[in-house]
Structure 1
Amino acid sequence: MGSSALLLILLMSLIHFGFNQDAEDLPTSTLTVTPDNPVFTGERVNLKCEINSDHSDWRYEWNKDSSMLQTSERYTVNRDTLSIVGAVISDQDQYWCRGLRDGRPNSSQSSSVSLSVKDLPTSTLTVTPDRSVFTGERVNLKCEIETYRYWIWRNYRINEWRDWTHEWRYEWYKGSRSSVKLQKSERYTVNRDTLSIVGAVTSDQDQYWCRGLRDGRPNSSQSSSVYPDISMLDICLVSVRCQ
């Protein structure tokens, strides 16, 4: 074999090796989501794009399905992390990322991550008695959080968060615009899911709402408010006949 042929084979080998080396050295991107799926409405979601590279001058491109995401009030970016502020059902989709540099190579496109967004369990607040309450009466407000079975029916899921109904703690609020969190006292007693107002007075007449809390996720959503109607009770003295 002539020297020209040997030179041609060597040149082709070097070109082939160079192409393979470029492909092997293309930095890879990995996208991770916090908290773990499913995410619940109202939660903050962080998507982190980790690039396997020694370079630190990456710019990041974020994509939802086939559309590139732009920063906004709901989509904020801190270098390698995209945050979704207050997740909603429409955020449920496929996401992927990649890194960009002014020089080459860019990072490869990450594998897509499927973000699942579900409704929070709901709270319902009921009041007893359900008629006008008179001063001095005992008023019970009960915070009922929907069962796991009903949540499953609403969200079409079958295998998640089976234990949430056993671990709720309850918060109670009075007022609508500037809500005040109620603390237990001689007049406000709490027995798990029920707040009792002992000896109602006219100043207790206001809007009330509740929510459930857990050490894990998800929390319950805020309940619809109730407004007990507390009226003055006419008191008749024993020595005077009441008309």
Structure 2
Amino acid sequence: MQLLFLLSTMRQLYIMLFLTSMNCSMHYKGRVVIVLDPPWEDLFETESIILKCMAEDGSSGWKYEWAKENKGMLEKLKNTPGSNGDTYRIISVKEYDSGIYWCQADRGTEKTESASCTLNVLKGHPGVSITLQPPFTKVYVGEWISLKCEVKEMSAGWKYFWSGGSDSNLIQAQYIPDATAIGTELRFKPVNLSHQMLYWCQALRNSFQSTSSSFLLKITDKVPMVLLSIQTLKGPIFSGETVSMKCELDGDSTGWIYIWYKGMEHNSKFHTNSSRDPAGSNYIITQSRISDSDVYRCQAERPATHFFSKFSETATLKIYNTPKPRLTIETKWMKVYPTEKVSLKCKIENFTSDWIYTWYKDGIEQNTCRNSQTCSVYTINSVAEQHSGNYTCRANAHSRYSEISDPLSLHVFSKYHLCFH
């Protein structure tokens, strides 16, 4: 930082010595400022500009000198005719007029510090373009949008004028209903089908002007639709299971967010946006409950233009309690003698599905049955004492599990009991 300050100070000293023609008897007092008319430093070829130098404290009696620095070289400039040389005028700027302009003032033995400004002369004609704000690919009747006029080369001081219609029938912006020109924009509040036409923008700066190419604003009165789908495992949905719903817009979804409704009341809306799903197109219930049962709807919104899609069709979500299988005995008794046959049956009632049953004795899983794909019946062809115990069953289908059934107690009499009888 100290080195940069030193170099800057030496450069200032060099400029002042150049302007004073090495007159070392001068002493420095005060500063000058440079005022531009028009007040911008970026110019296009053929524009004019006036540079005016004046004492910062407003004092008078000064005479002014000008110099131009370009690519490290300095040249003194002839002052525009006047009593004190405070003005330097360029009638029609060219590319070689780009550079840093310096001014300094002297009054007898007094001299001010120098001041500078930079002019940047751009070649050719400035380009002007029209863009749609927000930059959507489709515009709907009722949206609040605007057309923006921009000078491609960054420069100040432009005024903008709008017109619409056709090449043979131009309409000035003030005669376009529900359209207002403000600054760089032509705003529609809101847009309707009558606004579908060609538009032009003209940028004007003093006597310098540039016109854009035509821009066709296309508008549709077809309100977009959304589709609501419930994505779950096959079959009924049981409490505790994950339910996923998705809302999808028919068409380009750029700039849209989604609103969800539970029930038919409009005040029941909610949003589901997250870092993974900023638009909120998905609604996921990770641990479903009976109270989640209801009708659901969704709708898409473009917040930037205060516009909404149609409502989706309603989707009904029904959550059931996790089913509990019913365990029954197919044979006659639960108290049996050795070598008798016992058959138990496990069944999920009210829900049809590809249920497969697992059997337990005293909480320990038994070998999978061999004679049935569903294992709904558990058979012991010849019971023995070790088969005594509490039997339960459980069903599963597509990785979904039921509750465990209530137990049935099987009692096998001992062989000594049999001999006694």
TM interval, short-chain normalised: 0.3 to 0.5
Q: Which has the larger radius of gyration?
A: 2
Q: Which has the higher helix share?
A: 1
Q: Which has the higher strand share?
A: 2
**Greater relative contact order (CA < 8 Å, ≥ 6 in sequence):** 1
| TM-score of the superposed pair, with normalisation by structure 2 | 0.28
| TM-score of the superposed pair, with normalisation by structure 1 | 0.45
